Amino acid sequence: MSYFSCVYCVLLLLSGVLGTYPPSGLDLHHITAQSYAQTRNIARPPHRTLNPSKTDSQCRSLPLDLVFIIDSSRSVRPGEFEKVKIFLADMVDTLDVGPDATRVAVVNYASTVKIEFLLKDHLNKPDMKRAITRIEPLAAGTMTGLAIKTAMNEAFTEQSGARPRSRKISKVAIIVTDGRPQDQVEEVSAAARGSGIEIYAVGVDRADMRSLQLMASIPLEDHVFYVETYGVIEKLTSKFRETLCEVKAAVVQDPCKCEARLAFQRQTQSAIQQLAAKLSDVTGRVKQLESALGRA
């Protein structure tokens, strides 16, 4: 009886230790991100169309190299994609656009990736908004990782119009998606952030929140946004106006400590798996003991 009690105590101890860790399928980044900048239950705005000649008030933001990465996969209906374009135009209106101010590029993606225009292509608002009106959806697939890689390697280069690092111009990417990526986003997003690109992730409707977290910069509550439909995505404009008008010009190397975080996650998951294996072994031994006692 004392042997059984001892084994039972060991089982309880291991169970208690395991209970202090997350399940192996859930990393610590998820646990620390319990709140997101969400806009829910917002009244549907009146129908709008994109007017390239109309401009609204602008903030006097510090100069930015800003790249929009927009999902135009099959799940985004034509009318919804028009809402995305209106959101882009509204964002352009909020910024101080110009050769020595903020420059904007758009990367469009589905199964393939298309750079609609580069940072150097349109340096005033009317031309930029006319270019936005001409963007067409690409239809199939959701290769978000490929889109981020393309933005990092092609859209944020000096050849494409990005300012030299010595100018200390902040580099910002805003990703808008309504689905789950069909490729890997964690490593390429970490590389982009490590190169000094600040990433905001906007999820719509069916967007996978876990993927948004993996893409975005930290703190997540400032960089992950969610709206229930494309019909209310325009409401995020005011939020980005507040954020980007206060953006700091410093270029930070690896601001999220991505490599260290990934290494810690791998070590933690390995330790959890080892504990789970030990717990399974002890459980098996207890069952054998109970079976033996039952036959005695």
Instruction: Give the tens place of pLDDT for each residue, 55-89.
Output: 454 556 689 999 999 999 998 998 999 999 999 99
- What residue type is assigned to position 294 of the chain? G
φ, ψ of residue 171 to 5 degrees: the values are -110, 125
Q: Largest Cα–Cα distance of the chain, in whole Å? A: 90
Query: Does residue 267 belong to any structural domain of this protein?
Result: no
Classify each residue of 132-151 as buried b or exposed e, where b means 16 or more C-beta atoms within 10 Å of its C-beta.
beebebbeebbbbbbbbbbb
Q: Are residues 234 and 287 in the same domain?
A: no
> Is 133 part of a structural domain of the chain?
yes
Is 40 a residue whose pLDDT tops 60? no
* Domain presence at residue 59: yes
Q: How confident is the model at residue 287 (pLDDT cuts 50, 70, 90)?
A: confident
pTM of the model: 0.67
Strands (E), the chain: 37-39, 64-71, 103-109, 113-117, 170-177, 197-204, 224-227
**Residue 113's pLDDT band (cuts 50, 70, 90):** very high
Q: Is residue 266 part of a domain?
A: no
- Which has the closest alpha carbon to 245: 128, 93, 107? 93
One domain, residues 14 and 81: no
Asked if 106 and 237 sit in the same domain, the reply is: yes
Asked if 198 and 155 touch (Cβ cutoff 8 Å), the reply is: no
Is 262 a domain residue? no
Same domain, 208 and 289: no
Please check whether residue 227 lies inside any domain of the structure: yes
Residues 243 and 103 in one domain: yes
Domain count, the chain: 2
DSSP state of 47: P
Q: Give the pLDDT confidence score for residue 257 in this predicted structure.
A: 52
pLDDT on residue 3? 45
Would you state the pLDDT for residue 270?
A: 63
Same structural domain, 162 and 239:
yes
Q: Per the domain annotation, does 211 fall within a domain?
A: yes
Domain span including residue 77: 33-256
| Rounded alpha-carbon distances, angstroms, from residue 64 to 125, 171, 197, 245, 276 | 15, 6, 11, 10, 48
Question: CA-CA distance, 19 to 26, in Å (whole number)?
Answer: 13
160 in a structural domain: yes
Q: Are residues 157 and 210 in the same domain?
A: yes
Reduce the secondary structure of 83-125 to three states and give it as a string. Answer: HHHHHHHHHHHHCCECCCCEEEEEEEECCCEEEEECCCCCCCH
CA dihedral 114, 144, 132, 234 (to 10 degrees): 180
12 and 143 in one domain?
no
pLDDT of residue 49: 53
pLDDT tens by residue, 179-193: 899 999 999 999 999
Q: What is the CATH classification number for the domain harbouring 205? A: 3.40.50.410
> Cα–Cα distances in Å, from 118 out to 26, 61, 103, 246?
38, 20, 9, 24
Token pair belonging to 248: 């700091």
Same domain, 80 and 117: yes
Looking at the predicted structure, is the pLDDT value of residue 1 above 80? no
- Tell me: do 50 and 168 sit in the same domain: yes
- The answer, yes or no, to whether residue 251 has pLDDT greater than 80, is no
Residue scoring higher pLDDT (200 or 292): 200
Is there a single domain that holds both residue 193 and residue 110?
Answer: yes
- The reply to whether 195 and 121 lie within a common domain is yes
